[in-house]
Amino acid sequence: MADKKGKKKGEMKKADTRVNFTPLVDMIMLLLTFFMLATTLSKPQTMEISMPAKDKVTVEEQNEVKASEAFTIYLGAGHKVYYYEGLPNIEEPDYLKETDFSANGLRSILIEKNRNIVQQVRELENRKSLLQISKEEYNKQLSNLKNSKGSPVVIIKPLESSTYSDMIAALDEMLITSIGKYAIVDINDDDKTMLRNSSFPVN
């Protein structure tokens, strides 16, 4: 026999296979709202740059520095570095030389310029690693070595076309090559003249 709806007596009812996603959508919206309200937005990250102290190289020391100790670098466009050793010469053409921040560039030049100090710093680091001297004694002797008489004095002069990454790279090279006396100085008219005489961009 069949009932009024056409189903036979004793026939099993078919289960509804449809899935109702409405509760799932509601749950997702609740979770999304919760995380939006509870999660702290990421704060902008900044990088600290260790700039040389103002008294690292005074104006008087810059003027009185010996030719054998002086080393001046200009930071130019395209990560280029122009430099000269000794005292400035605004008359001589092609007085400036060009290099870059590669291992065989500025770093190699500074290591050669500061070879004696670099060797002593390496020996000092070795003594520290062998625990022959304390950290405090190491820092004291390291500072004395870097600022000892006769060590190079590096003057860093960034051009307008240089970037912050160039400045950071230059300061890193001071640390790597154990240069203890350096300063960041603006370029003047004599610098511009030397750049032009060497066919390098002024800005």
Q: What is the pLDDT of residues 80-98, one digit of tens each?
A: 999 999 888 988 999 999 9
With respect to CATH, is domain 59-112+152-197 assigned 3.30.420?
yes
Task: Report the pLDDT value the prediction gives residue 10, as an integer from 0 to 100.
Answer: 57
Tell me which long-range contacts 118-122 makes (C-beta under 8 A, separation of at least 24). 118/177, 118/178, 120/145, 121/145, 121/146, 121/178
Task: Report the pLDDT value the prediction gives residue 184, as an integer from 0 to 100.
Answer: 92
Tell me which long-range contacts 98-106 makes (C-beta under 8 A, separation of at least 24). 98/200, 101/166, 101/169, 101/170, 101/173, 105/81, 106/73, 106/81, 106/170, 106/173
Give the per-residue SS3 of 138-200.
Answer: HHHHHHHHHCCCCCCEEEEEECCCCCHHHHHHHHHHHHHCCCCEEEECCCCHHHHHHHHHCCC
Question: By mean pLDDT, which of 25-39, 129-143, 181-195 is the weakest?
Answer: 25-39
Q: What is the pLDDT of residues 147-174, one digit of tens each?
A: 888 888 999 999 999 999 999 999 999 9
> Can you name the residues that pair with 157 across neighbouring β-strands?
74
What is the domain partition of the chain in residue ranges? 59-112+152-197, 115-150
Mean pLDDT value of segment 163-192:
92
CA distance 133 to 135: 7
In 10-158, the DSSP E strands lie at 70-75, 81-85, 97-99, 153-158
Q: In sequence order, what are the residues at sequence separation of 6 or more whose Cβ sits closer than 8 angstroms to the Cβ of residue 57?
A: 153, 155, 181, 182, 183
Backbone angles phi, psi at 77, to 5 degrees: -70, 155
Cβ atoms 116, 148 nearer than 8 A = no
Taking Cα atoms as reference points, which of 160, 190, 191, 164 lies closest to residue 73?
Answer: 191
Tell how far CA 168 is from the center of its chain. Answer: 4
Instruction: Give the confidence band of 145 by pLDDT, cuts at 50, 70, 90.
Output: confident
